[in-house]
Amino acid sequence: MSEHLQKPIYQKAGRPRASRSPRSNKIPKKLRTAAYERAGGLCDCCGEWMDPETFDAHHRQLRSRGGKHTIENLVALKHEHHMWVHQHPAESTDRGLMVPSWADPVDTPVRRFDGNLYLSRWAWERIEENR
């Protein structure tokens, strides 16, 4: 293949990868900011303050399961809680921090750090529970 027909390669930490595509894993800055602001700067898992530059925006319905870059599909987490979510999928699914491929994040509530259930919108909408 001639040199000018090859896809550009971007370097990150010394590892080559293919060029970015429209299905890039990079969450748009507007959505990252919205997820952080909706959380009030607090981790949606534990309620502790997060740095606005280093928090993790987590896809509730994983990109590998068809999850999209939407506010309903994002939660703001500290890095250690983001790792916990991926290491404990059953518990994370029970809390709504993970959403199965067949479910819609719009209709799947999240149990946040305060123990209440919320629907993920541009602002958290609390759901009254019959306990």
75-128 confidence digits (pLDDT tens)? 999 999 999 999 999 999 999 999 999 999 999 999 999 999 999 999 999 998
pTM: 0.79
Give CA–CA dist 68/78, Å, rounded: 21
Q: pLDDT over 70 for what percent of the chain?
A: 81
Residue 42 contacts residue 52 (beta carbons within 8 Å): no
Res 24: pLDDT = 64
Q: Among 11-25, 26-40, 72-86, 103-117, which is the least confidently predicted range? A: 11-25
Res 33: pLDDT = 96
Residue 46: Cβ-neighbour burial (10 angstroms; 0-12, 13-18, 19+): middle
Q: What is the mean pLDDT of residues 4-16?
A: 45
